[in-house]
Structure formats: C-alpha cells, structure tokens
Homo-oligomer: A and B are copies of this chain.
Amino acid sequence: MALTDGVLAIAITIMVLDLRVPASRDWQAIRPAIPLLAAYGLAYINIGIFWTNHHHMLATANRVNGRALWANLFLLFWLTLMPFVIRWIGLAGVTSQPVAAYGVVTVLAASGYIWLERELILAEGTESRIRAVVGSRRKEWVSFALYGLGVPAAFFSPWIAIVLYIGVSCVWLIPDRRFERWHSLQQSDANAAPP
C-alpha cells in the first residue's frame, strides 16, 4: 500500500519542518533545538517500528479487503498526529500533558495495528500462513500495555513515561525470532515456487 508509505514518509519529514533553525553561527545556538531533536529521534524510531512490522506483515498477506483498508487508515490517522504531539513536547518541554498525549496517540496507533493484524488474519483464515507467522502476538500486546501505562505514568513523572516508551522500542529492536521463522517460510516458498 503506497498510501501507507507516503503517509509515514511525510509524518517523518514534517517533524523536521518544526525544528527551529538557530539564527546565529554558534554551536550553542543549536541548544534550544536539542529536546525537539531528541523527541524527533524517539518518534522516528517508533514510526520505524510500525513501518518495518507493517512492511513484513503485508508482504505475508495475500488479501487486503475493505475492512483491512479502514483498519490501516485508523492506524495512519494516529501516526499523522505524531508530529503535532512532538511539536507540543518541543514547545512545552518534557512535561506531563504533552508526554501523556504522546502515549494516547501511540496506544491508539498500536490498537489500530492490532486491529489491522486481526482483519488480515480473519480474511485468510486461522490456518493461513500469516496466522502462523504472527503467532501469539504477545509483543503487540506488551507494547500496547506499555504505551497505555505511559499515559497515567506521565502525571507522576513524564520521565517514567519516556522510559516506558523507550522500553517499547527496545522490545522491538531486539532481533525477533518470528522474522527468522518468516524468512525460512519464505525461502521454502521460494524453493517450492519455480518447479
């Protein structure tokens, strides 16, 4: 789905639009841009995680019906709000409200991702390859829970929430056994295809 790639590409790049350019020549002039740069880095990794998983999942799916398209649009809607929340963090600093809002947006994006996964499996049947590849979906639910926890946690301390959000990134960046399984499935397919 080129729309997904297009939306993510723009969501990523318009975050850079909001980086305030230092007017003077000093390195110190770049300092006020640093919290926003860091927030941009974190959001970039989060969108990257959504994208790589989305990419793998759709490469495995054979059918995309109307309901899956809407689940995908729901997911994208929340991802398009990310630059808005990042800008808020950039303006208001690492404070409770914008950090909680970041949690709200990501937890809704994660629910969109889980919904999309579910629609793709429903369309293909529980015996399908995508069902086998996706497995127990434990990681998705752990991420969902951590993002969700970030919302109330941000009111105790926004830094606890940020640790939770970074935790989700670590969960996904650590190499994943499911993908290896997927690659071996893919390879056996490739071997099976030509003859």
Interface string of A90-105 (1 = CB under 8 A from B): 0110011110010000
Q: How far is B56's CA from A28's CA once the two chains are assembled, in angstroms?
A: 40
Q: Are B48 and A56 in contact (CB under 8 A)?
A: no
Q: Are A7 and B13 in contact (CB under 8 A)?
A: yes
- Is chain A's interface secondary structure helix, strand, loop, or mixed overall? helix
Chain B contacts for A66, CB-based, 8 A: 52, 56, 175-176, 179
Tell yes or no: A192 within 8 A of B by CB: no
Q: Are B88 and A22 in contact (CB under 8 A)?
A: yes
Interface size on A, residues (CB 8 A): 57
A116 to chain B, nearest CB (A): 14
Residue of B nearest to A17 (CB): B14
The 9 A-B pairs at the shortest CB distance, nearest first, are namely A6-B9, A2-B5, A10-B13, A3-B5, A25-B95, A7-B9, A48-B73, A21-B87, A52-B69
